[in-house]
Amino acid sequence: MTITNAEISKMLRRIAFLLEMDSNKDDKNINFKNKAYLRAADQIENLPVRLETIYKENGLIGLLQIPSIGKAISSKIEEYLNTGKIEYYEKLQIKYPIDVDDFLGLEGIGPKTLKEILDTTTIRNLNDLESLIKEKKLRRIPGFSEKKEVNLLKKIQSHRIGKSRFLLGDLFPIINQIENYLTGNEKVSKLIVVGSFRRMKETIGDIDLLVVSKHPSDIIDDLITLPEIEEILSRGTSKAFVRLKNGIDLDMLVVPEDSFGSASLYFTGSKEHGIQLRKLAQGRDYRLNEWGLFDNKTGQKLAGDSETEIYNLLGLEWIPPEMRENHGEIEMAKRHSRQWINKIQNLVEYESLKGDLQVHSNNTDGQLSIEEMAYFAKTKFHLDYIAITDHTKSLAIAKGLDEQQLLDQLIKINEINDRIKSGDFFVEENRPKSNRDRNNYLKEAGTKNLKDNRNKDDKKFRILAGAEVNILKDGSLDISNNVLDRLDIIGAAIHSNFSLTEEIQTERLIRAAQNPSVDIIFHPTGRIINKREGYPVNISKLLFTAMETNTVLEIDAHYNRLDLKDEFIRMATDTGVKMVIDSDAHHSLHYAFLKFGIAQARRGWAERDDILNVLPVSDLLKNLK
């Protein structure tokens, strides 16, 4: 039997829910107990390694090393892993025989409210509750009313539809639109999109907007009349919460100028990062909220307009938004060590990539020719090199290339490189005509804030001949090494047999990494965010082999992959394994995705030195196998 971290986490949430139902405000212990279960659940959800693996390798001791997991919870996890059940939970279920999962995440009705309903009725699940409301019986319970019935019914219905998180890349254009719309409002003196968007998390739950204005209620009036708005969920004097027609929620906070820093800190999150900061404040007899940092004794406001000032008063260095996850950054920032200050200064920067090492052409499943991909890489995105890495023959669905076709492509690439060197390639007459704004992505998002770091000398641009070679079931490749060795750069990737065990899957990747022709493992875990988990890989073992064989791991920047994910990037930087950030472009517009890969690298604390394609092409090639 195999039990995932998600399942364990959910089980702990069920227990927390029932414990909170069971609590009353006089019993402090039970009140904090449920929070402890929730903390543990959060922690487990963010863990890069499976608890099952930790338990198999190190037993209870291993579990106890995880923050927020102590004696009681670790032994319950042990019981769950061994028996598939937790007796403690079963007992709570006897007391409260309800389908807890039905109510987890149901907005507007928490454990306390549910308890009140259960005191006078015998509902078990969401259907029962819905019937109760439809029969107008809920309003008979003290504290409930017709108004509450109406609200609850709506919430039950939207809960049924389910709300999954949106992909960062999907929301980018919409968020830019809203940003532009409100920036045009003369009463808005500052506007910033905060929340998980500012942290560049791979998925976004809702859009958080922070506005500085002297007229908060006017701004809120303007916001709620936006035509994109489907429903106003709540509205106060400084905050508004609305649902947009595309299904995403938007949360807006309006503050005065001197609260901009504290509000952006509070609103950028993460929640756990914020909690840690407020605890630090508490330790100094300060109070930190969205309005500022205050001295408890004097009531005086100590800081508020800048994030840096607040961090400093709490004894910390400023922390970049992408790192604010309470994954150890606060402890590090506390120490003021040279190492940490260097880490922050050397974090890989946006616009710092000189090349893109996974690019597809219309020789396989790409949409544009090699010439077009090169032309736009240079002229629109100011890259100095790209690698054409088309699929290989066993990936029939993408018209993968065979040995001869790869060699033919090599000749063609050499010809284009010769034209580039002679200076007649990047000229306006050569501008490909097929690319006329096929979609708005580039216009709205892709080129925004692009720094012009154009190398005046266009003749230096280089196309590397490469391939995205298919890793077969046994870890061998579908193209012979003597052909691969004639190309400049080789990425290997898994595109089939996803359901093998972790051991076999890891062995496949290790064999590929040990192949002397393979420079990079492309999208190492194969996940598609919100669609497919990715095959199971023992990342530690893969990293060890990568280190031994000088194999590079890719951060695939396509926003539906972002593979490696942030925790794995962190592990790679700790191991000293080098990475590259590639767009996996199938169209020139896709080069815009590189920024998502950089964001992911920053979330994984990667420095410039960890990322090889910040280097000029000659240095890059020297660093490969």
Partner DNA sequence: GCCGTTTTCGGCCCGACTGTTTTCAGTCG
Q: Are 165 and 202 in contact, with CB atoms under 8 Å apart?
A: no
**Burial classification of residue 366, based on how many CB atoms lie within 10 Å of its CB (0-12 exposed, 13-18 middle, 19 or more buried):** buried
- Under rule CB under 7 A, residue 107 binds DNA: yes
- Residues 20, 111: Cα–Cα separation, whole Å: 6
- Residues 468, 359: Cα–Cα separation, whole Å: 9
- Under rule CB under 7 A, residue 339 binds DNA: no
- Under rule CB under 7 A, residue 236 binds DNA: yes
- Residues 222, 209: Cα–Cα separation, whole Å: 14
**Judged by CB under 7 A, which of 237, 345, 499, 618 binds DNA?**
237
- Residues 217, 231: Cα–Cα separation, whole Å: 18
- Under rule CB under 7 A, residue 6 binds DNA: no
3-state SS, 418-434, equals HHHHHCCCCCHHHCCCC
Binding positions for DNA, 246-285, rule CB under 7 A: 249, 251, 271, 274-275, 278-279, 281-283, 285
* Cβ distance to DNA smaller for residue 198 or 558: 198
Tokens of 149: 């019935």
- Under rule CB under 7 A, residue 193 binds DNA: no
* Cβ distance to DNA smaller for residue 290 or 384: 290
Binding positions for DNA, 601-620, rule CB under 7 A: none
- Under rule CB under 7 A, residue 71 binds DNA: yes
| Count of residues that bind DNA according to CB under 7 A | 62
Q: At its nearest, how many Å lie between DNA and the CB of residue 123?
A: 14
Q: Which stretch binds DNA (CB under 7 A): 107-115, 436-444, 455-463, 499-507?
A: 107-115
- Under rule CB under 7 A, residue 144 binds DNA: yes
**Which helix (H) or strand (E) segment is 253 a member of?**
strand 249-255
**Judged by CB under 7 A, which of 2, 4, 6, 35 binds DNA?**
35
Write b or e for each residue in 127-145: b if 16 or more Cβ atoms lie within 10 A of its Cβ, otherwise e: ebbbebbeeeebeeeeebe
- Under rule CB under 7 A, residue 291 binds DNA: yes
- Under rule CB under 7 A, residue 334 binds DNA: yes
* Cβ distance to DNA smaller for residue 81 or 494: 81
Q: Which stretch binds DNA (CB under 7 A): 288-296, 298-306, 478-486, 531-539?
A: 288-296
Binding positions for DNA, 75-94, rule CB under 7 A: 88
Write the DSSP string, 180-238.
HHHHT-TT-SEEEEEHHHHTT-SEESEEEEEEE-S-HHHHHHHHHT-TTEEEEEEE-SS
**Judged by CB under 7 A, which of 164, 225, 234, 339 binds DNA?**
234
- Residues 220, 223: Cα–Cα separation, whole Å: 5
- Residues 591, 378: Cα–Cα separation, whole Å: 11
Strand segments, DSSP code E, in 277-378 are 286-289, 292-295, 301-303, 355-359
Q: At its nearest, how many Å lie between DNA and the CB of residue 169?
A: 22
**Judged by CB under 7 A, which of 151, 352, 379, 394 binds DNA?**
151
Q: At its nearest, how many Å lie between DNA and the CB of residue 21?
A: 9
* Cβ distance to DNA smaller for residue 103 or 522: 103
- Residues 217, 468: Cα–Cα separation, whole Å: 55
**Judged by CB under 7 A, which of 2, 4, 6, 32 binds DNA?**
32
- Under rule CB under 7 A, residue 148 binds DNA: yes
Q: At its nearest, how many Å lie between DNA and the CB of residue 122?
A: 19
Torsions phi, psi of 137, nearest 5? -100, -20
Binding positions for DNA, 36-65, rule CB under 7 A: 36-37, 39-40
**Burial classification of residue 157, based on how many CB atoms lie within 10 Å of its CB (0-12 exposed, 13-18 middle, 19 or more buried):** exposed
Q: Which stretch binds DNA (CB under 7 A): 235-243, 453-461, 499-507, 612-620?
A: 235-243
* Cβ distance to DNA smaller for residue 198 or 586: 198
3-state SS, 40-61, equals HHHHHHCCCCCHHHHHHHHHHH
Tokens of 141: 């319970």
- Under rule CB under 7 A, residue 433 binds DNA: no
**Burial classification of residue 246, based on how many CB atoms lie within 10 Å of its CB (0-12 exposed, 13-18 middle, 19 or more buried):** exposed
> What is the amino acid identity at position 393?
K
Binding positions for DNA, 497-556, rule CB under 7 A: none
Q: Contact positions toward DNA, by CB under 7 A?
A: 20, 25, 28-29, 32-33, 35-37, 39-40, 67-74, 88, 106-114, 143-145, 147-148, 151, 195, 206, 208, 234-239, 249, 251, 271, 274-275, 278-279, 281-283, 285, 287-291, 334-335
